[in-house]
Chains A and B, each alone.
Chain A
Amino acid sequence: MTPSCVVALVGRPNAGKSSLFNAVTGGHAKVGNFPGVTVELLDAQVRALSGELIELVDLPGVYSIEGEADPESDEGHARQFLDRARDEHKPLVIAQVLDSTQLELGLGLTLELRRRGVPVIVLATQHDALVKQGFELDAAALQEALGVDVLATSARAPGIKEKVSQLLADVWRQQRKPPHGTIDVRKLARQVLLPKENAAQSFARVRRRTERLDAVLLHPLLGPLVFLGLMTALFAAVFMIAEPVTALIDLANQALGTRIEGVLGTGWLSSLLVDGVLGGAGTVLAFLPQIVILTIAMELIDASGYLARGTYLVDRALRFAGLGGRSFVPLLTAHACAVPAITSARIIRDPGQRLRTILVLPLMTCSARIPTYGLLITTFFSDRSAWFKGAMFVGLYFAGILAGLVASLVLGQTVKQTGQRRPLVLEMPPYRRPHARVVARVAWRAGTRFVKDVGSVILIAAIVLWALLTVPGPGDSHSAPPGASPRVVAMHGSLAASAGRLLEPLSKPAGFDWRLNVGLIGSFGARELMVGTMGVIFGIEGGEDDTAPLSARLREAKTATGAPAYGPATALALMAFFVLACQCMSTLAAVRRETRSLRWPLFVLAYTYAAAWVVAVVVFQAATAFGL
């Protein structure tokens, strides 16, 4: 059914548009306490009580809709939507989401919106925060002065969905064209903000809290220490808290495998289910706790307002590497997933910095690397203390960051600076307490998305790999260890094994044999598949009665001569490879979309793989020389 009108939610960055969008539509737009959280247009339909169907569009934040704007920036995308709606004569209503704690600043944009010649409504949000500061908004007086409807509310107000949707429908029906005249916004803001009793004390109390926190978190010495400590604690928690839960899921996997073998025997169906499905997809699923913990931590950083403080702290260091403070947000986001991080690079106004940021984002340690890191650390460093393993995991995260900074410095010599340098101006939002429900919802979504991925792409890939390890290939099976079962000998002569063996001349200096090569081929499109591939290969190799976990099978893997196939040196080289290689088709597609060129994704692929191979060889040779 065609909606009666399109309502564009317009407002300054971090005004609360996405929170309001979610409250009215019941949607799941990403919200945060940082300017530039919404970089994509989100839309949803909502029905007013009077029956009209309304299409609500959440636009990226804009400071102004007049004057020039870079079309590639988040602001440019919002303006293009408004311009297109005007040119195509769409039935448009503009709903300005205005942070009532920063009324004067938001009213400048209101005056511009009134000049668009379409119905406008002002939704003055954060009214609860304004009350805490000791003020009330006189919405009636503001409405009269502006000549447009005004609603003072907050995203968590009861009945907001019905109230706002009906108001939007009314504004559309009335078709009231707003007046164009100029208003002294400073004077108007003073007139409509009514101080309550003890307003000065309330305002001072709220401000003092922010100042106290900033005095520590932005302190020249303490601030960077707290920042580094937080990041270290976050990465260590991902490993140390989640590891026991992961081990439990792994145990459940093994128990299920034993049961399947007990019922079905040891035929091909049993091998498909145990080695293919459980060994492949089940092994990856065990890393669900890490994904959820990482998501919760990132959400807390974002929602609390600390993200902007982090930007303030790291701006100078990032500028040294040719990036900038605004690069920090995509760089941090990329620790969950590089794809949304590449899109969020639109908040970087400087085109040269934006391109450099996009090109180094694939080096950040995304959650898809976690299963491989977790498996290698618990397998080859199992005799080390939990703290050592945790420190190793944290070290891999910082290795990714360091690789990104070095790559940016090197790219600075090769990537041509496009356009004029744009200096940074960034809003520092107030600190806010994250809402447990929002955090839980985000964690739930990340968890279910991961389970869906495992249940679809990874499951299919594991089954295909199992089949390729069964179909005979052109090569021989001479690499099977002495005394191997016929199934293992057959796998060593399979199509997949032949493909892996083709790469051995290139991979041997890094310590990778055909089995690891099959994993690397399998994880070319998505790096999560590495662990799944290993699960399938070593599930088959483990034999018919072996229910040992994957880590034990990897440790016990043998070469054709019966010698141990892998050791800590192989693990370090493989981790180095994973730090650098862009094994993610979705990331490359995002680079192509954002740079509008095939050249840059191919460049990312070439430089990350070349660097990954060189560093893996150096690490393996050095580690072997040191007797690891």
Chain B
Amino acid sequence: MGVRRTPAVTSLDLLAPQRSALITGLRMSEREAAWLRAIGLGEGVEVTVLRRAPLGGLLHVRVSGGAELAVDRELARNVELGPGEKERP
């Protein structure tokens, strides 16, 4: 389970399947951000991409709270990730 520095991955939509990273910020209105935090996609949460639907479809992710979510790719673009990503735990 090695940790690789990959500065290119700065948002959730760029995270490859079976890789995990920490959410560090939400680039959206406070109202949307509050809703996302309540769902479980807030800052400090470790998120793992399980798979991506083809043709720019949804991302299937797992958050550290245990829930699995399907996330819109457009929204994922505005979910900032920390600089360190790693293989899925």
B43: interface (CB < 8 Å):
no
The B-contacting residues of A in range 61-75, CB under 8 angstroms, are 63-64, 66-68
**B70–A423 contact, CB under 8 A?**
no
Interface size class on chain B is 20 to 34
B34: interface (CB < 8 Å):
yes
Q: A67-B31, A423-B75 are in contact. Are A104 and B65 (CB under 8 A)?
A: yes
Contact residue among A64, A101, A105, A308 (Cβ-Cβ distance under 8 Å from B70):
A308
Q: What distance in Å separates the Cβ of A527 from its nearest Cβ neighbour in chain B?
A: 35
**B60–A218 contact, CB under 8 A?**
yes
Q: A101-B66, A102-B67 are in contact. Are A218 and B51 (CB under 8 A)?
A: yes
Contact residue among B50, B54, B58, B68 (Cβ-Cβ distance under 8 Å from A427):
B68
Of B51, B64, B72, B75, most buried by chain A (CB within 10 Å of CB) is B72
**B69–A427 contact, CB under 8 A?**
yes
**A214–B69 contact, CB under 8 A?**
no
Q: What distance in Å separates the Cβ of A73 from its nearest Cβ neighbour in chain B?
A: 11
B14: interface (CB < 8 Å):
no
- How far is A108 from B39 in the complex, measured between Cα atoms in Å? 9
**B66–A220 contact, CB under 8 A?**
no
The 8 A CB mask of A210-224 against B (1 = contact, 0 = none) is 010010001010000
Which residues does chain B contribute within 8 Å of A104, judged by CB atoms?
Answer: 40, 64-66
Which residues does chain A contribute within 8 Å of B38, judged by CB atoms?
Answer: 63-64, 67, 108-109
**B40–A312 contact, CB under 8 A?**
no
Interface size class on chain A is 20 to 34
B71: interface (CB < 8 Å):
yes
- How far is A519 from B31 in the complex, measured between Cα atoms in Å? 52
Q: What distance in Å separates the Cβ of B51 from its nearest Cβ neighbour in chain A?
A: 6
Which residues does chain A contribute within 8 Å of B7, judged by CB atoms?
Answer: none
A628: interface (CB < 8 Å):
no
- How far is A109 from B38 in the complex, measured between Cα atoms in Å? 8
- How far is A312 from B61 in the complex, measured between Cα atoms in Å? 12
- How far is A308 from B70 in the complex, measured between Cα atoms in Å? 9
**A425–B55 contact, CB under 8 A?**
no
A249: interface (CB < 8 Å):
no
B41: interface (CB < 8 Å):
yes
Q: What distance in Å separates the Cβ of A270 from its nearest Cβ neighbour in chain B?
A: 61
A138: interface (CB < 8 Å):
no
- How far is A428 from B58 in the complex, measured between Cα atoms in Å? 12
**B70–A325 contact, CB under 8 A?**
yes
- How far is A97 from B38 in the complex, measured between Cα atoms in Å? 16
**A63–B39 contact, CB under 8 A?**
yes
A602: interface (CB < 8 Å):
no
Which residues does chain A contribute within 8 Å of B40, judged by CB atoms?
Answer: 104-105
Which residues does chain B contribute within 8 Å of A66, judged by CB atoms?
Answer: 34
Q: A63-B35, A64-B38, A312-B60 are in contact. Are A428 and B70 (CB under 8 A)?
A: yes
Q: A312-B58, A315-B53 are in contact. Are A425 and B65 (CB under 8 A)?
A: no
- How far is A426 from B38 in the complex, measured between Cα atoms in Å? 13
**A425–B39 contact, CB under 8 A?**
yes
**B67–A424 contact, CB under 8 A?**
no
Which residues does chain B contribute within 8 Å of A63, judged by CB atoms?
Answer: 35, 38-39
Which residues does chain B contribute within 8 Å of A313, judged by CB atoms?
Answer: 53
**A102–B60 contact, CB under 8 A?**
no
Q: What distance in Å separates the Cβ of B62 from its nearest Cβ neighbour in chain A?
A: 9
**B31–A316 contact, CB under 8 A?**
no
**A428–B69 contact, CB under 8 A?**
yes
B87: interface (CB < 8 Å):
no
- How far is A216 from B39 in the complex, measured between Cα atoms in Å? 26
B84: interface (CB < 8 Å):
no
Q: What distance in Å separates the Cβ of A206 from its nearest Cβ neighbour in chain B?
A: 11
A378: interface (CB < 8 Å):
no
Of B35, B36, B50, most buried by chain A (CB within 10 Å of CB) is B35
**A425–B60 contact, CB under 8 A?**
no
- How far is A315 from B36 in the complex, measured between Cα atoms in Å? 19
Which residues does chain B contribute within 8 Å of A424, judged by CB atoms?
Answer: 58, 70-72, 75
**B66–A315 contact, CB under 8 A?**
no
Q: What distance in Å separates the Cβ of A258 from its nearest Cβ neighbour in chain B?
A: 58
Which residues does chain A contribute within 8 Å of B35, judged by CB atoms?
Answer: 63-64, 67
**A105–B65 contact, CB under 8 A?**
yes
Contact residue among A109, A220, A422, A428 (Cβ-Cβ distance under 8 Å from B68):
A428
Q: A105-B40, A108-B38 are in contact. Are A316 and B55 (CB under 8 A)?
A: yes
The 8 A CB mask of A45-64 against B (1 = contact, 0 = none) is 00000000000000000011
The B-contacting residues of A in range 405-456, CB under 8 angstroms, are 422-428
Which residues does chain A contribute within 8 Å of B51, judged by CB atoms?
Answer: 214, 218
Q: What distance in Å separates the Cβ of A74 from its nearest Cβ neighbour in chain B?
A: 13
Of A103, A109, A315, most buried by chain B (CB within 10 Å of CB) is A315
Q: A67-B35, A218-B51, A316-B56 are in contact. Are A423 and B66 (CB under 8 A)?
A: no
In addition to A105-B66, A108-B38, A427-B68, 7 A-B residue pairs with Cβ atoms within 8 Å of each other are A64-B35, A104-B64, A104-B66, A105-B65, A186-B64, A214-B50, A424-B75
The 5 A-B residue pairs with the shortest CB-CB distance in the complex, in nearest-first order: A64-B38, A423-B72, A423-B75, A63-B38, A316-B57
Can you pick out 10 interface pairs between chain A and chain B where the beta carbons lie within 8 Å of each other?
A: A67-B35, A220-B54, A312-B53, A312-B58, A315-B57, A423-B75, A424-B75, A425-B41, A426-B58, A427-B67
